[in-house]
């Protein structure tokens, strides 16, 4: 019998297609000695039979994930800094050109995007519940409200600051199960001809690349043009543009407007047709994805076990949230991966969630190159491989597991 839950968009039946087992919070790096205090939940995803939205079967309370010590700092990647500067520049020259324009960003994190907006002197507000990163954004001169965005927050912002020309969210909307409240908030806050722009990992890329590690506690929804169009429609909004973008392993940037306010671009129909052709919304496609995931697990464990038997040193590169899914689903223990190198101070000296692999500063990797580096931050592969020529020159090899397990 298949497992089901209720859809967070339309209350339809969500049927499970993959179970990644008992998992910890992906960004809860453990202080040594606190191993027994970890929170676990069942990580599984399903597809809604009515609106086709792919989503987690179980929801993790938001305060457990987003709090004062949330360790993810957006500005850790130079590619992402450039990505967001370019987006800011584009918005400043298109949507934010009227009289005293105003932009609100949900999940501004350390201010990676709004910094350029603040520097241009355009009115802005970042809504960011995670206190530590919100402080970093404020230190950059950005106006920040330490809060979860939802309907009541939106009404309050509208009252104090007036309507927004742009509401923007990167890698944040897919983190929020209470979508009804968010979209009500968006329609309250948006100027009649304003836009709601958001970018998140794309189910089309996840299925094509078997990037199953995009599934973790914080990623509640896995959007497609079709499911976003339906979600928008139900809330008085309309999908008017889509753009595939290469960051974070493949994302789509969606633009919504109030229904009827803007004419949808041809890109919307094109992406909808592409999705239909790939049968993205069909259960059988997602079952095939689940089969491919199991193969990656077997191959990766076989490779790591062989390398251990040969006495090779394997170190993880990038203690990503994604790596929690990989290590816990595959059963990668510290005897297979010695430590994980990560440049984020808040992760260093701690243990990876669930499997308790030590996370160490970058120097631990660069100062004593291992035989193999398991690239958990594969979404930053170009940036990392360019920077790590010395590792390669020393005979080091990369292990990757997306779209399949391979050594290069
Ligand atoms: N936008 C940044 C980027 O793309 O790098 C940060 C993405 S980070 C993965 C997700 C952020 O969303 C976190 O900083 C978290 O605190 C924030 N967040 C979670 N729920 C939120 C909500 N309801 N309203 C606003 N921000 C939220
Ligand atoms: P992300 O995949 O969610 O962006 O997380 C990337 C993680 O990898 C983050 O903890 C920072 C870390 N990282 C490095 O350690 N070195 C690097 O060169 C890059 C780009 C990221
Ligand atoms: Zn649904």
The arithmetic mean of pLDDT across residues 337-342, rounded, is 98
Residue 384 covered by a domain: no
Name the percent of the chain lying above pLDDT 70: 100
Q: Look-up: residue for tokens 């994190």?
A: 109
Q: What is the pLDDT of residue 2?
A: 80
CB of 189 closer than 6 angstroms to any ligand 1 atom: no
- Closest ligand 1 atom to 182 CA: 23
Residue 79 covered by a domain: yes
At residue 1, does pLDDT exceed 80? no
Ligand 2 centroid to 151 CA: how many Å?
A: 32
d(CA 214, CA 134): 24
Atom 1, ligand 1: residue with shortest CA distance: 170
Ligand 1 centroid to 107 CA: how many Å?
A: 3
CB contact at 8 A, 334 and 315: no
Which tens digit of pLDDT belongs to each residue from 175-193? 999 999 999 999 999 999 9
Residue 18 covered by a domain: no
∠ CA 90-91-92, nearest 5°, is 90
Q: Are strands 40-48 and 54-56 parallel, antiparallel or unpaired?
A: antiparallel
CB of 66 closer than 6 angstroms to any ligand 1 atom: yes
d(CA 303, CA 299): 6
Band (pLDDT 50/70/90 cuts) for residue 349 is very high
Q: How many residues does the chain have?
A: 408
Residue 16 covered by a domain: no
CB contact at 8 A, 304 and 337: yes
Atom 12, ligand 2: residue with shortest CA distance: 318
DSSP 29: P
Which tens digit of pLDDT belongs to each residue from 358-385? 999 999 999 999 999 999 999 999 999 9
- Find, among 242, 252, 265, 169, the residue nearest to 204 by Cα: 252
Q: What is the pLDDT of residue 353?
A: 98
CB of 149 closer than 6 angstroms to any ligand 1 atom: yes
CB of 26 closer than 6 angstroms to any ligand 2 atom: no
d(CA 60, CA 278): 31
Q: Are strands 190-201 and 164-170 parallel, antiparallel or unpaired?
A: parallel
**Per-residue burial over 31-62, b = 16 or more CB atoms within 10 Å of its CB, e = otherwise:** eeeeeeeeeebebbbbbbeebbbbbbbeebeb
Ligand 2 centroid to 258 CA: how many Å?
A: 36
DSSP 377: T
Q: What is the pLDDT of residue 244?
A: 98
Integer CA distances (angstroms), 401 to 208, 298, 300, 301, 335, in order: 13, 11, 7, 11, 19
Ligand 1 centroid to 128 CA: how many Å?
A: 6
Average pLDDT over all residues of the chain: 97
- Find, among 271, 146, 117, 147, the residue nearest to 202 by Cα: 271
Domain range for residue 164? 74-283
Ligand 2 centroid to 251 CA: how many Å?
A: 17
User: Which ligand is located closest to the Cα atom of residue 326?
Assistant: 2
Looking at 46-178, list the stretches that DSSP marks H as alpha helix, in order from N- to C-terminal side: 62-65, 78-93, 114-119, 131-139, 151-161
CB of 110 closer than 6 angstroms to any ligand 1 atom: no
∠ CA 82-374-317, nearest 5°, is 45
Specify which residues 316 forms β-bridges with. Answer: 340, 374
The arithmetic mean of pLDDT across residues 324-346, rounded, is 97
Atom 6, ligand 1: residue with shortest CA distance: 109
Residue 29 covered by a domain: no
The domain total for the chain is 1
CB contact at 8 A, 272 and 216: no
Residue 347 covered by a domain: no
Which tens digit of pLDDT belongs to each residue from 272-322? 999 999 999 999 999 999 999 999 999 999 999 999 999 999 999 999 999
| Ligand 2 binding pocket mutation candidate from 26, 27, 251, 342 (most atoms within 8 A of CB) | 342
Which tens digit of pLDDT belongs to each residue from 249-260? 999 999 999 999
- Closest ligand 2 atom to 79 CA: 20
User: Dihedral, CA atoms, 193, 223, 188, 140, nearest 10 degrees?
Assistant: -90
| Beta carbons within 8 Å of 367's beta carbon, 6+ residues apart | none
At residue 60, does pLDDT exceed 80? yes
Which tens digit of pLDDT belongs to each residue from 99-135? 999 999 999 999 999 999 999 999 999 999 999 999 9
CATH (domain of 224): 3.40.50.150
- Closest ligand 1 atom to 149 CA: 24
Residue 351 covered by a domain: no
């Amino acid at each position: 019998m298949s497992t089901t839950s209720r859809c967070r968009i339309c209350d339809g039946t969500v049927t499970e297609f993959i179970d990644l087992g008992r998992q910890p919070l992906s960004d809860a790096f453990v202080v040594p000695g606190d191993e027994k205090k970890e929170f676990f939940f069942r990580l599984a995803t399903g597809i809604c039979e009515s609106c086709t939205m792919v989503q987690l079967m179980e929801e993790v309370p938001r305060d457990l994930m987003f709090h004062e010590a949330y360790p993810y700092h957006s500005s850790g990647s130079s590619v992402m800094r450039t990505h967001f500067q370019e987006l800011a520049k584009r918005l400043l020259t298109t949507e934010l050109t009227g009289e005293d324009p105003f932009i609100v960003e949900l999940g501004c994190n350390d201010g990676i995007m709004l910094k350029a907006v603040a520097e241009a002197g355009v009115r802005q507000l970042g809504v960011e519940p995670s206190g530590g990163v919100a402080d970093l954004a404020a230190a950059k001169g950005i106006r920040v409200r330490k809060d979860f965005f939802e309907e009541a927050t939106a009404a309050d912002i509208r009252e104090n600051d007036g309507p927004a020309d742009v509401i923007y969210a990167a890698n944040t909307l897919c983190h929020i199960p209470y979508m009804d409240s968010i979209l009500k908030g968006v329609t309250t806050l948006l100027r009649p001809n304003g836009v709601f722009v958001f970018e998140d990992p794309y189910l089309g890329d996840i299925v094509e690349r078997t990037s199953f590690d995009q599934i973790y506690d914080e990623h509640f929804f896995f959007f497609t043009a079709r499911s976003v169009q339906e979600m928008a429609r139900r809330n008085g909004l309309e999908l008017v543009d889509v753009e595939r973008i290469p960051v974070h392993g493949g994302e789509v940037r969606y633009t919504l407007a109030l229904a009827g306010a803007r004419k949808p671009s041809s890109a919307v129909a094109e992406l909808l047709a592409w999705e239909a052709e790939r049968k993205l919304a069909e259960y059988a496609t997602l079952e095939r994805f689940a089969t491919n995931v199991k193969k990656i697990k077997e191959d990766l464990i076989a490779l790591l076990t062989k390398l251990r038997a040969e006495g090779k040193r394997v170190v993880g590169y990038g203690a990503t949230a994604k790596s929690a899914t990989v290590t816990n689903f595959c059963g990668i223990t510290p005897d297979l991966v010695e430590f994980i190198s990560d440049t984020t101070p808040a992760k260093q000296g701690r243990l990876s969630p669930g499997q308790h692999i030590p996370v160490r500063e970058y120097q631990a990797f660069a100062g004593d190159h291992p035989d193999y580096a398991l690239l958990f931050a594969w979404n930053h592969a170009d940036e990392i491989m360019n920077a790590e020529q010395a590792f390669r020159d020393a005979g080091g090899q990369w292990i990757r597991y997306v779209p399949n397990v391979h050594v290069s």
